[in-house]
Structure 1
């Protein structure tokens, strides 16, 4: 282990929680180091280990005005010997060289390849029981594509890497959550036309089961699950579409038969207001299940991305991320807000039982 200073033994917190650096041309490295520093300041120690390019993360410290030593780990086994006040960084083998030379604020194939490699290396360490979970800084879908990574985003990449090659993929879902609203998506990254074609009773019921299990893991014994319809006014009895009648309502009925507290299909233009937990309004529901990506994510993001957290449900390990993208326009300015990253770290700890 190479470090600028030696601070002695570090408090033991179990296996490290990994934090991947994201796209080096965006704000991922900056919010990652800032969240780690804030975590250290608040608690006096941190269970986080950053995964990424050492030079990029050193530069991120400078961008964020942080004067901190860096502990370069040869392996995650060295995490237990890390100095308590040094940023622990594990740099996986095979990263493209000289990543800090990539232009900030630009789509880069090398940045996309590096981001994917850090994610995949982190998953391997979790599977080898060398880490407790994964928090991911933002990546750029076009950079992944430019690098030849055949996945539209984190969710699909993690799903594929969570099982051996050729094994059936686990059903996964995306949940976006903040202090006021949680929403889980039946369909994720695909065209709207494809999303509508994917909606069926089996998929909706599977989403309800995954949602129920996830909320129970964070301490909600009997989650109140509201299901948003697909069509205006939830189809208005078939006048505006029949997906609610053919697919969504039967899934709700089966979920109720399994003992879940599920209601709907509700009109999608009002159900999120009913579910919102606010000082002047106690939410009627603990979570809303939405049929498509934008139906579910627009309401949560409208409330503010500062505290938003993306959680991948259904994986055999914990994965969270902040509710924002690479923000190329802010990269290198030192103005990136680490609040959403900090919220993602807190959520990951809750899910692994450390909160």
Structure 2
């Protein structure tokens, strides 16, 4: 992506790296009960991971580093970066919210204790090869086999173990990092632990989304649901689920999904949840629920993107190009115009 340039000490730098030039500086006081504030902070912490890696690549250290303001501004401290063992790139970060003082104006209700954030793909020589291989793994539904995912899980488990499962943990990610957050969140939830997730531009398979004919897409979705429901019924899956099992735990997990209809990487979630809503309206909700169950119970091949419940936020603002539609900055834009809808698996 071509970047606007500014001069600092004679060297060209991207203004997108500098918090005071492109970050959510309008958010001088955080109300943790305000969904828009939480969205902006989570996106900023993800951006901090990107800048940590840029700082590493450009050898910016100490006072020259651009990353700290992306978390310092919201009273977080960096506990540790998460480093990929294949290329030594920084792909994630563990943040802790600092204790509030008596004269602090922040509202602490709904505030996290820890945030584990993950970046997406960086198209730079130091990271591009590794990131693109992981993108392919994501498309092939094999992200769970990667060391980056394993490191992410270890980071979350270390927090859970240290606090005996009592800490309020957020997961946050963008693009590929969103897929990692989603996979970690699903697996932690199935094991009975509570995490809150903020998923920006999460990848969704585009196989059906390339079809322009809306009626044809609806027909394909309905046919697919009928076939899957038939298979699940024949196998008797939906009659043997324990009420306290992983499936029921996952159905109660409601991550926050943030998508842009102009972004083909994540826009499939819009059609996915619209289809489920239509099936409910047409009194075919049971068929769709059984079809979803059939997909989830496939051994070793549970679709990464598949969610039972979610709070879906769609950016209604027009995006001039794909890069803007897929970018992280849109999610803290003070002029953000979006619509949110809760989708629950009943």
TM-score if structure 2 supplies the norm length? Answer: 0.32
Query: Which structure has the higher relative contact order (CA within 8 Å, separation 6+)?
Result: 1
